[in-house]
Amino acid sequence: MREQFQEELDAVSSTLVDMAGLVKTAMQNATTALLTADLALAEKVIADDLIIDEIQHELDAKTINLIARQSPVATDLRTLVTSLRMSADLERMGDLAHHIAKSARMRYPATAVPPELSLTIEEMGRVCVSIIEKVALVLKNRDTDRALEVEKDDDAIDSLHRKIIQTLLDPSWQHGIETAIDMTLLGRYYERCADHAVSIARRVYFLVTGTYASDKA
Amino acid sequence: MREQFQEELDAVSSTLVDMAGLVKTAMQNATTALLTADLALAEKVIADDLIIDEIQHELDAKTINLIARQSPVATDLRTLVTSLRMSADLERMGDLAHHIAKSARMRYPATAVPPELSLTIEEMGRVCVSIIEKVALVLKNRDTDRALEVEKDDDAIDSLHRKIIQTLLDPSWQHGIETAIDMTLLGRYYERCADHAVSIARRVYFLVTGTYASDKA
């Protein structure tokens, strides 16, 4: 009985790792589609978001069913409740990749990002993808050191976000209001994606140590 | 035993209603602070957000404790899991009011919103507050008719959001990029707040009827 329960707990955890993998690919593809005006890739990210939503839906149903059948208490219950929260974070991260892909599609055949911001957006995408990769490892190995790293990577995202805003406000900005609106929202999407990643890292940290990561970071 | 459990379930539900009341006040005050450059009111919204966070924290601990002690199944378990999700929605709505108040504080002593957008923002705040009021009633009375109304009010928010973007893109716009960035983010905060309200209304609708509101709206 206990052994089967442990297998089911492991399956929940492994589905979260799979979701993180899909979100990572979505964010990678969304950024490439955005920077290269790749319509087919943007459409793929948009379509694949439904797969992430579906996995979350099934995972949550399984998790609730597991709580109902096994009446877990203490750590097991906390693990399952935390899974529900982390699947919601991952689903939302998928939505944000979807939003970025929609921005690429909306401006096609033009490139949504003007030349002076393409390196910054590329870097934001790269850091965001690396954060999601780390979160997958945090989920897989309950790796608390890596969970603390995610907090620091998030500072890099915030600093890139400020760089975008500075570029928009520079008197040399010549791409007008519409592109400024796009860039403001894109910066916000990457920032929110990283926020959800931090939230997952903190949840795992708390599950493993019983203390809050923010006290150590 | 069952009677005590029912009382505890009712207490969870009533705390959610209280949270909705606090979020409504926060959104109302944040909008007033934004439109009238009222620094003291903005500070109050920012400080009071901690109270909402604290209530969520305590409510979630109580809810998990209730699951652990009572091992609920079926509807009771679904109700408690849904409460955890709705408290997260309400907490996030509080954060968004907090963001709006911070925008008011950042531009003080100037008014963050330029004259040609103040009616639109006022209307967005009004509709958003009315949605939160309805969500409080949906939570209190499990009122599915009102849950469906929330979907329609959300369309009004989306249309006001489009109006903001149109105003920013109009050739007559003369407040520059910085104000355009502020307005883009403010529009997004109201829109996301309404999205979370819709999400709560849908969750209650599903709990009561077992079907999805989006099929009826």
Interface pTM (ipTM) of the complex? 0.95
3-state SS record for A74-138 = HHHHHHHHHHHHHHHHHHHHHHHHHHHHHHHHHHCCCCCCCHHHHHHHHHHHHHHHHHHHHHHHH
Phi/psi at A171 (5° precision): -55, -20
Of B78, B85, B169, the CB nearest to A178: B169
Task: Give the model's pLDDT for residue A213.
Answer: 80
List the single residue in A with minimal CA-CA distance to B176: A177
Chain B contact residues (CB < 8 Å to A): 64, 67-68, 71-74, 77-78, 81, 84-85, 88, 165, 168-169, 173, 177-178, 180-181, 184-185, 188
Crossing angle for the helix pair A115-141 and A176-209, nearest 10 degrees?
20
Interface test with A, best of B53, B62, B67 (most A CBs within 10 A): B67
A180–B177 C-beta distance less than 8 A:
yes
Share of chain A above pLDDT 90, in %: 96
C-alpha distances in Å from residue A186, one per residue of A145, B173, B180: 30, 22, 15
Determine contact, residues B112/B106, Cβ cutoff 8 Å: yes
Task: Give the model's pLDDT for residue B217.
Answer: 47
Number of domains in chain B: 1
pLDDT tens readout for residues B103-137: 999 999 999 999 999 999 999 999 999 999 999 99
Inform me whether the pLDDT recorded for A214 exceeds 80.
Answer: no
Task: Quote the CA–CA distance of B127 and B134 in Å, as a whole number.
Answer: 10
- Kindly list the residues from chain A whose CB atom is less than 8 angstroms away from the CB atom of residue B173: 177
pLDDT band at A215 (very low <50, low <70, confident <90, very high): low
Inform me whether the pLDDT recorded for A1 exceeds 90.
Answer: no
B88–A77 C-beta distance less than 8 A:
no
Task: Quote the CA–CA distance of B116 and B123 in Å, as a whole number.
Answer: 13
pLDDT tens readout for residues B31-61: 999 999 999 999 999 999 999 999 999 999 9
CA B207 to chain A, closest CA, distance in angstroms equals: 14
pLDDT tens readout for residues B75-90: 999 999 999 999 999 9
A185–B180 C-beta distance less than 8 A:
no
The half-sphere exposure of B194 on its side-chain side, counting CA atoms within 13 A, is 27
pLDDT tens readout for residues B140-198: 999 999 999 999 999 999 999 999 999 999 999 999 999 999 999 999 999 999 999 99
Inform me whether the pLDDT recorded for A217 exceeds 50.
Answer: no
Of B67, B77, B168, the CB nearest to A181: B168
Segment A122-133 shows an average pLDDT of 98
List the single residue in B with minimal CA-CA distance to A70: B71
Inform me whether the pLDDT recorded for A216 exceeds 90.
Answer: no
List the single residue in B with minimal CA-CA distance to A60: B81
Task: Give the model's pLDDT for residue A147.
Answer: 96
Give the CATH number of the domain where residue A20 resides.
1.20.58.220
B64–A68 C-beta distance less than 8 A:
no
A85–B84 C-beta distance less than 8 A:
yes
> Which of B138, B120, B142, B124 has its CA nearest to residue B198?
B138
Segment A57-77 shows an average pLDDT of 96
A68–B74 C-beta distance less than 8 A:
yes
CA B200 to chain A, closest CA, distance in angstroms equals: 14
pLDDT band at B215 (very low <50, low <70, confident <90, very high): low
Task: Give the model's pLDDT for residue B213.
Answer: 80
Task: Give the model's pLDDT for residue B63.
Answer: 97
B81–A64 C-beta distance less than 8 A:
yes
Inform me whether the pLDDT recorded for B214 exceeds 80.
Answer: no
User: Is the omega angle on the peptide bond into residue A72 within 30 degrees of 0, that is, cis?
Assistant: no
Average pLDDT value over all residues in chain A: 96
Segment A52-62 shows an average pLDDT of 97
pLDDT band at A167 (very low <50, low <70, confident <90, very high): very high
A165–B181 C-beta distance less than 8 A:
yes
List the single residue in A with minimal CA-CA distance to B71: A71
List the single residue in A with minimal CA-CA distance to B69: A73
Of A121-125, A207-211, B136-140, where does mean pLDDT reach its minimum?
A: A207-211
C-alpha distances in Å from residue A39, one per residue of A93, A96, A102, A103: 21, 17, 10, 10
Inform me whether the pLDDT recorded for B216 exceeds 60.
Answer: no
For CA atoms B28, B34, B39, B42, give the dihedral sign: positive
B74–A64 C-beta distance less than 8 A:
no
B84–A88 C-beta distance less than 8 A:
no
Would you put residue B210 in left (φ > 0), alpha (ψ -120 to 50) or beta? left
Segment A104-131 shows an average pLDDT of 97
Q: Which domain holds residue B208?
A: 2-215
